[in-house]
Amino acid sequence: MISSKWKIWILGIRPKTLAAGISPVIMGLGSAFYDGHYTLHLSSAILTFLAAVLIQAGTNLSNDLFDYLKGADNKKRVGPLRIMQSGLVTKREMLCGIFIVFFLAAVCGVFLVIRGGLPIMIVGILSIICGFLYTAGPHPIGYLGLGEIFVLVFFGIIAFSGTHYIQTLVFSPIMIVLGLMPGFFSVAILSANNLRDIKTDREAGKNTLAVKFGYKFAVSEYVFCMIMPYLLLIIIVFFLKNHYFSLLSLASIFFAIKPLKIVINKNIHTPGLLISVLEKTGQVMLLFAIIFCITWNIKI
C-alpha cells in the first residue's frame, strides 16, 4: 500500500518534466565553477538542486489540483495521467502534499539565504508563491496567458543566475542572457503542453497563448523556443570571445529534430501525438545543459 502511494505521488510530480528545474541549475553551477576559479560551495549546490526540484514538483502538484478543480483536466483531456483527475488522491491529500513539498523547498531556502542573503530570500519566496498561484486563485498566471513569461523568468533567468550567485556571491548582467537559454527550453516544454491541450483548455476558459492566438502560433512558438538557445549560445560565445568549447552543446540539436517534426507535422485532431514531445524536449534540454556545464569550463 505504501509502495503504491509513493508511485502515485511520483506520477503527480511528473518526473519527466523535471529537466526544466534541473537544467538551469546544472548550467548555473557550470558557469559558477568557471568564475569561482574551479571551486564550488558543495552544500549550497546540493541545496540549490533540491530546492529547484521541490519548487517544480510543488508547482506540478498545484497544477494537477487546480486544473482539475477548474475543469481544465477532464475526461476529454489527452496526456499523461493526472492523479486528481484519476481519483487516486483526495483534495485534502493533494493540499497536504503541496504544503509538504513547498515547505521542504522553503527549508532548503533558509540555508541558501544564510549563504546568499536578501536577494535569495526574495527570489525563493516569489518562486514558491508564483509556483502555487500558477493555477491557483481567482486570476491564476497560467489562465491569463502569462505562463510563458513565468517560465522564462523563473525556470530560466532566476534559476540560472540565482544558482550562479549563491556560488560566487557576484552578479553580472551576462547571467540574465545565459539564463535565457534554459528559459527558452522550458517555454518550449510549456508550449508543447499547451498545444496538446488547446481544445480542453479553451473549453475550460484557460486562456493560454495557444488558446488566444491559435494552433499555428503555438507551433511557431515551440519552434522558436527550441531554436533560440542555440542562437543565443553562438552569439554569447562570439561576443565574449571565449568558451568556444561550449559550442559542442549545439550537438544536442540533432535530438531536437524528432520532437520538432512531430510538432510541425502534427494534426490538431490528434493531440495524443504530442504526449512524447514533452519528454523528448526535456531530454534535449538536459543534454544541452550537461554539455554546456562541462565544456564552459574548458580553456583553449
pLDDT in tens, 199-225: 888 888 889 999 999 889 999 999 999
pTM of the model: 0.92
Residue whose entry in the numeric block shows the C-alpha cell 521542504: 104
Q: What number of CA atoms fall less than 13 Å from residue 134's CA on the CB side? A: 26
Q: Tell me the per-residue pLDDT of 51-69, one tens digit each, with 9 for 90 and over.
A: 999 999 999 999 999 888 8
Nearest-angstrom CA–CA distance, 218 and 188: 10
Mean pLDDT, to the nearest integer, of 87-108? 94
Q: Number of helices (H) and strands (E), helices first, in the chain?
A: 13, 0
- Domain extent at residue 197: 2-295
Residue 144 is assigned to a structural domain of this protein: yes
> What pLDDT, on the 0 to 100 scale, is given for residue 71?
75
Is the pLDDT at 110 greater than 90? The verdict is yes
Q: Tell me the per-residue pLDDT of 16-31, one tens digit each, with 9 for 90 and over.
A: 888 889 999 999 999 9
Residue 277 is assigned to a structural domain of this protein: yes
Is the pLDDT at 1 greater than 50? The verdict is no
Of 260, 254, 257, 249, nearest to 286 by C-alpha is 249
Residue 300 is assigned to a structural domain of this protein: no
Name the domain count of the chain: 1
pLDDT category of residue 77 using cuts at 50, 70 and 90: low
CATH code for the domain in which residue 154 is found: 1.10.600
| Longest CA pairwise span in the chain (Å) | 57
> What pLDDT, on the 0 to 100 scale, is given for residue 76?
62
Is the pLDDT at 80 greater than 80? The verdict is no
Q: Tell me the per-residue pLDDT of 245-285, one tens digit each, with 9 for 90 and over.
A: 999 999 999 999 999 999 988 655 566 677 888 889 999 99
